[in-house]
């Protein structure tokens, strides 16, 4: 038997209903906040990710699915959405009417990581990006949006962590200070971090190797090196979060894996997922649009890990599984063909209807109706048809009523409408 690829997964009926509900909740929240949906391709030129995410990041160094297409140019399955959304913003000059644009996108991402609980090679993200606003208030709007989504999904065990990464003005000073600190702790760092310490010292701060984490507990904080403008930006973020009643923790080690982030950076963490504690992350990337050849445009965004969110959502999947309103139990050939006609007519009226297409006994059809959780069963037998009416049985109250077969669909509708069981 051919099995799916390691690190990939199926989202089966029974689970997919929860995913649909999460997506619906996110979409309606985005609409309320004025975000428009954008759909971007699954593949891009490798160069786009290499340039925007940064050569020294885990994603570009070791996690991308990159291969030559038939003519030899390198393409990559997208590991994240921001680079593509920026490419699209620039390519279609989406800034020309109004530089301020707010987008969301939902879909699969691909990273060739070691598969484990909460870590897949194809996973899903809910992304939001805001272009053209440098005010810290939009950073807060994004955090508020995520926190609201989590609370609407009854997710309680989450914490918001924030930090600032400064800007090209002040970050170099911090990088130099951090580099000196790292040189003095070389003995305790992992081999990846020893390599990163000169090329991209900030990355060492979020290394997951326990020895590195321990060494980094004493690392200097970038917050002590922010320039006045970045410092003011961060202060406003904190004040506005307080005003919106969003609790947060300042986390000086929060740097995120991507090179293009500036100023505010944030992560939502949970205690419910074991080692994979990050449910969402994001922040400002004021330099990226320009670096990719567009106009100088401030931008900020987030990515929520859909798989991890689905796992910690407090809502029960069973709440969303739709059961049939009516199960048509047909007995005999004539009944079967009539029931088949009625079924389509009922479905078109928005009444969820199931039936058995084989010639089964009433007992076995009733059993199946029960298994499917049908609210009613319409018993259609050749005898009933001869007498001009069929039996509608309410599966909860066990009450049975006779439904005339002339204008049967209307009669059923009227009956269901009167029934308190039907929502």
Q: Is 278 in the site for ligand ATP (CB under 6 A)?
A: yes
* Least distance in angstroms from the C-beta of 207 to ligand ATP: 11
* Cβ distance to ligand ATP smaller for residue 57 or 353: 57
* Cβ distance to ligand ATP smaller for residue 129 or 307: 307
Q: Is 120 in the site for ligand ATP (CB under 6 A)?
A: yes
Which residues within the stretch 283-342 sit at the binding site for ligand ATP (CB under 6 A)?
Answer: 303, 305, 307-308
Are 108 and 123 in contact by the 8 Å Cβ rule? The answer is yes
Tokens for 207, please give them.
Answer: 């290394």
Tokens for 308, please give them.
Answer: 């991890």
Say how many residues touch ligand ATP, by CB under 6 A.
18
Q: Is 196 in the site for ligand ATP (CB under 6 A)?
A: no
* Cβ distance to ligand ATP smaller for residue 66 or 415: 66
Is residue 108 exposed (0-12), middle (13-18) or buried (19+ Cβ within 10 Å)?
middle
Is residue 168 exposed (0-12), middle (13-18) or buried (19+ Cβ within 10 Å)?
exposed
Q: Is 279 in the site for ligand ATP (CB under 6 A)?
A: yes
* H-run or E-run covering 409: helix 408-418
Q: Is 119 in the site for ligand ATP (CB under 6 A)?
A: yes
CB atoms within 10 A of CB 354: 18
| Core vs surface per residue 196-212: b (16+ CB within 10 A) or e | bbeebbbbbbbbeeeeb
Q: Is 142 in the site for ligand ATP (CB under 6 A)?
A: no
x/- binding map, residues 99-118, to ligand ATP, per CB under 6 A? ------------x-x----x
Cβ-based neighbours of 292, under 8 Å, separated by 6 or more: 48, 51, 52, 83, 86, 87, 90
Contact pick of 54, 281, 283, 294 for ligand ATP (by CB under 6 A) = 281
Q: Is 159 in the site for ligand ATP (CB under 6 A)?
A: no
Tokens for 409, please give them.
Answer: 């669909």
Q: Is 9 in the site for ligand ATP (CB under 6 A)?
A: no
Q: Is 80 in the site for ligand ATP (CB under 6 A)?
A: yes
Binding footprint of ligand ATP on the chain (CB under 6 A): 80, 111, 113, 118-120, 123, 125, 257, 276, 278-281, 303, 305, 307-308
């Amino acid at each position: 038997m051919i099995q799916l690829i390691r690190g990939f997964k199926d989202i089966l009926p029974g689970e997919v209903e929860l995913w649909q509900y999460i997506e619906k909740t996110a979409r309606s929240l985005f609409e309320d906040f004025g975000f428009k949906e954008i759909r971007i391709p699954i593949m891009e030129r490798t160069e786009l990710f290499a340039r925007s995410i940064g050569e020294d990041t885990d994603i570009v160094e070791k996690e991308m699915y990159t291969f030559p297409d038939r003519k030899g140019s390198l393409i990559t399955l997208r590991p994240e959405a921001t680079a593509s959304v920026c490419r699209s913003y620039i390519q279609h000059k989406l800034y020309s009417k109004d530089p301020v644009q707010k987008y969301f996108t939902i879909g699969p991402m691909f990273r060739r990581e070691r598969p484990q609980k909460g870590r897949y090679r194809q996973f899903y993200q809910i992304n939001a990006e805001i272009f053209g606003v440098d005010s810290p208030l939009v950073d807060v709007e994004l955090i508020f949006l995520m926190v609201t989504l989590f609370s609407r999904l009854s997710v309680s065990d989450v914490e918001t962590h924030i930090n600032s990464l400064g800007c090209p003005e002040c970050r170099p000073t911090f990088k130099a200070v951090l580099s000196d600190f790292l040189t003095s702790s070389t003995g305790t760092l992992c081999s990846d971090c020893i390599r990163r310490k000169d090329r991209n010292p900030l990355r060492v701060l979020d290394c997951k190797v326990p020895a590195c984490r321990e060494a980094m507990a004493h690392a200097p904080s970038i917050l002590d090196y922010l320039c006045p403008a970045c410092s003011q930006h961060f202060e406003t973020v904190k004040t506005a979060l307080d005003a919106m009643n969003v609790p947060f923790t300042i986390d000086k080690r929060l740097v995120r894996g991507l090179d293009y982030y500036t100023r505010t950076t944030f992560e939502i963490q949970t205690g419910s997922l074991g080692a994979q504690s990050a449910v969402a992350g994001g922040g400002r990337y004021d330099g990226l649009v320009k670096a990719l050849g567009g106009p100088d445009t401030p931008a900020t965004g987030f990515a929520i890990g859909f798989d991890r969110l689905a796992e910690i959502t407090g809502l029960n999947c069973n709440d969303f599984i739709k059961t049939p309103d009516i199960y048509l139990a047909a007995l005999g050939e004539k009944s079967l063909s009539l029931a088949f006609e009625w079924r389509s007519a009922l479905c078109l009226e928005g009444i969820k209807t199931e039936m058995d297409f084989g010639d089964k006994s009433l007992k076995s059809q009733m059993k199946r109706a029960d298994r499917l959780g049908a609210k009613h069963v319409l018993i259609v037998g050749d005898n009933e048809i001869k007498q001009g009416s069929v039996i509608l049985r309410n599966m909860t109250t066990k009450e049975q009523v006779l439904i005339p077969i002339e204008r049967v669909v209307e009669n059923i509708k009227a009956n269901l409408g009167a029934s308190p069981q039907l929502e």
